[in-house]
Amino acid sequence: MEKQIMKYSKEVTETHRLSCQHKDCLQLISDCFTQEGGKGNLFCQNETCINLDKIEKKQHKNSPQATMDITIGIEASSKKMLLVELRFNYKNPKNIGKQEILDKIVHSKDLLSDCAVHPEYIFIFKENVKNQARSHFNRLFIGKKTPCIIMTEDEFHHYFFL
């Protein structure tokens, strides 16, 4: 992660164009995490995210493209959107391909085209899969600093919300 401290911003999240246009796609972070197999209990009941999967399904009913699961607003010296993929139900991260990852990122950035997007992307796994996932992503992006950061739900909460 960048050295700069970045923290979740409800205001940045809820004033984003997609939040305003698709109010039904603004969800509690805790709900998104539990729906995807996470605990969700670390997050306050007022912390929201934009569900990119729901927006994509609304906009492209017949042929939705893959997107990252959610995006949240973060603030440090500037305001940005952070792309997050929730992979709690993955038992074998080797089933994730490089092109699948890149396609999700590219299409998600297209949806968020009118704002700054953080240059690193968060993939959240359960603790027992995290190290395998890190190793797999490092092999996929060999020779390059991977733009994908592997975290657990606890690490994500600690880094962006405390």
Using pLDDT thresholds of 50, 70 and 90, give the confidence band for residue 146: low
Span 31-63, pLDDT tens digits: 999 999 999 999 998 999 999 999 999 988 888
Span 98-129, pLDDT tens digits: 999 999 999 999 999 888 999 999 999 999 99
Does residue 133 register a pLDDT over 80? yes
Using pLDDT thresholds of 50, 70 and 90, give the confidence band for residue 19: very high
Does residue 2 register a pLDDT over 70? no
Name which of 61, 55, 63, 62 is nearest 22 in CA terms. Answer: 55
Angstrom distance (rounded) from CA 12 to CA 30:
18
pTM assigned to the model: 0.93
Q: Which residue has the tokens 């042929």?
A: 63
Which token pair is 90? 């993955």
Span 66-86, pLDDT tens digits: 999 999 999 988 999 999 999
Using pLDDT thresholds of 50, 70 and 90, give the confidence band for residue 64: confident
Name which of 65, 49, 54 is nearest 122 in CA terms. Answer: 49
Name which of 112, 105, 123, 106 is nearest 13 in CA terms. Answer: 112
CB 65 within 8 A of CB 2: no
Does residue 145 register a pLDDT over 80? no
Kindly report the number of other CB atoms within 10 A of residue 30's CB atom. 20
pLDDT of residue 141: 87
